[in-house]
Amino acid sequence: MNVRIEYPAEFLAAVYWEDAVMFNCYRIRCEMVTGTKDHREQNIALERLKFVVFSQLHNSVFIDAREKAAIKRLENAGLRTIPLPEQPVDQIVGMMLYSKLDAVMEGRLLMSQAHLSSDLGENVIYSHSEHETLGPLNQKGWWNESDPACSDNRSGGKVVSISERLTWQSIDLDWSVEEDNTDKNVITLFKKDDKE
C-alpha cells in the first residue's frame, strides 16, 4: 500500500544576482508517495531530505554556475555556494529541489510534487512534478545525484579539506544495517601438547 505524505520546510539562503548578494526565506512543501513498505527506510529517506535542506542549502548562496569569479570570491569569504545551471530565480531553485530531493530518497519516498515560494519572489508559488520537464536541470549535475553533495566543487575556497567526500554512510543515513563487530573477539586456547 502506497501512502501519500507531505513535508513542509522553511530555510534561509541568499541569491547572487547582478553583483549583489540578497538574503531570502524559502518555503517548500514536498508531496511524496511511499515507495517501500519498510518504515525504517522511509524514515531514512525523510532524514536525507531534511539533511539536504537544513545542512546543505540553509545558509548558502544560490548562484549561476557561470559566475566563476563571484563563486571564488564568495567561497574565499567562507560562504557555501550552490551553483545552478541558470540564474537562481525561484523556478530554477524549485526545479533543483524537486530533482535533488527525489534523487537522495532513492525511491524509498517518491516526490510527486514540490511547491516553492520565497520572500524575494513575493510568495508566488512554483509547483514542479514528475509530469514536467526540468529544463536546464535535465542535464547531468549534482542536483540529480543521490549523494548528499549540493555542488560539484570539491574545495571550499580558502579551506583545504583532506577528508573524504561526504557520503550518506558517513552521516549514518545509508540503507544498510551493519552489524557491530567491535566487541567480537575470538580467543582460542591450546593445551601445551596440542597441535594447531
Top-level class of domain 4-171: alpha beta
Q: From CA 94, how far away is CA 115, in angstroms rounded?
A: 7
Mean pLDDT is lowest, of 136-150, 156-170, 181-195, for 181-195
Q: From CA 73, how far away is CA 46, in angstroms rounded?
A: 34
Task: Give tens-digit pLDDT for 163-175.
Answer: 467 899 999 999 9
pTM over 0.85: no
Task: Give tens-digit pLDDT for 10-58.
Answer: 999 999 999 999 999 999 999 999 999 999 999 999 999 999 999 999 9
CB atoms within 10 A of CB 2: 10
Task: For residue 16, list its beta bridge partners.
Answer: 21
Task: For residue 31, list its beta bridge partners.
Answer: 6, 113
What is the DSSP track for 148-185?
S-S-S---BTTB---SPPP-TGGGT--S------TT--
Question: How much is the mean pLDDT over the chain?
Answer: 87
Q: From CA 174, how far away is CA 80, in angstroms rounded?
A: 24
Each domain of the chain, given as residue ranges in start order, spans: 4-171
Three-state secondary-structure class, residue 27: strand
Which carries the bigger pLDDT value, residue 158 or residue 140?
140
Q: From CA 105, how far away is CA 84, in angstroms rounded?
A: 21
Find out whether 189 and 181 touch, Cβ atoms under 8 Å.
Answer: no
What cell does 128 get?
A: 514542479
Task: Give tens-digit pLDDT for 115-132.
Answer: 999 999 999 999 999 888
